[in-house]
Amino acid sequence: MKNTLLLSLILAVPAYAGTSQTMAESTPPPMNQESTWNWFVGGTAGYLLDYEEDMYTFQFGANSPWVMDGWSVALYGEVGWTENHDGQNTILPFGPKRDLDLIPITFNAKFERIITGGLSAYIGGGLGTTYLDEDFRRSRGSRHVEDWVFTAQLSAGLAYHVNDNVELFGGARWIYFDEPNSRGISLGDDVLFEGGMRFHF
């Protein structure tokens, strides 16, 4: 009886193995669950030519799965900050003083194409709004203004991908600020030369 049971088990093992192999061959492989969007955070530091001021930005976005004629597409939001603080008039000690802070908030698209190795070129643009906060002080009194204005920008430059996670880049951008409702404030446009880094995860 024991020998019969043992013989049955030995014969059943190859049959079960064959059945398992057939099931494995007929079962399709699992779909790749990995997202095709590659998220990143980054920041820039630069210099505005006309304002003669520093500007800093923070970026959060993703490289998309879309490719257009060899140009990969990334979408990202950006928050920046710059100031225009005119110092006290040295000729007239009680002359006017203007303190202006700008916080641009934009949604942007970037198109990037590999040149060679880890080096690539990029162009992009964005639309959004800028919050301005101004204090204007003079001997006859002071004025405080807060406003939001339309903002647009175009950018271009070069990027170097150090590895899969780290990207360094530098270039220039043109920024346009619409005129605020308040009198006496003119923002216009400016050119920013900048450098930055992104971390992909």
**Structural tokens at position 99:** 């303190």
Query: What are the pLDDT digits (tens) for 69-91?
Result: 999 999 999 999 999 876 544 34
Query: What are the pLDDT digits (tens) for 144-192?
Result: 889 999 999 999 999 999 999 999 999 999 999 999 887 767 889 999 9
Asked if 148 and 131 count as a contact pair (C-beta separation under 8 A), the reply is yes
Report the distance separating Cα 62 and Cα 42, nearest Å.
11
- What SS3 class is residue 183? coil
CATH architecture group of domain 40-200:
Beta Barrel (2.40)
- Of 102, 98, 81, 55, the residue nearest 184 (C-alpha): 98
Write down the pTM of the prediction: 0.76
Asked if 105 and 128 count as a contact pair (C-beta separation under 8 A), the reply is yes
Q: Which residues pair with 129 in a beta bridge?
A: 105, 150
Angle at 73 between CA 71 and CA 74, to 5 degrees: 145
* pLDDT for residue 196 is more than 60: yes
Please report, for residues 20, 23, 67, 160, the alpha-carbon distance to residue 32 in angstroms, rounded to integers and kept in the order given.
23, 20, 20, 29
Query: What are the pLDDT digits (tens) for 32-53?
Result: 334 589 999 999 999 999 999 9
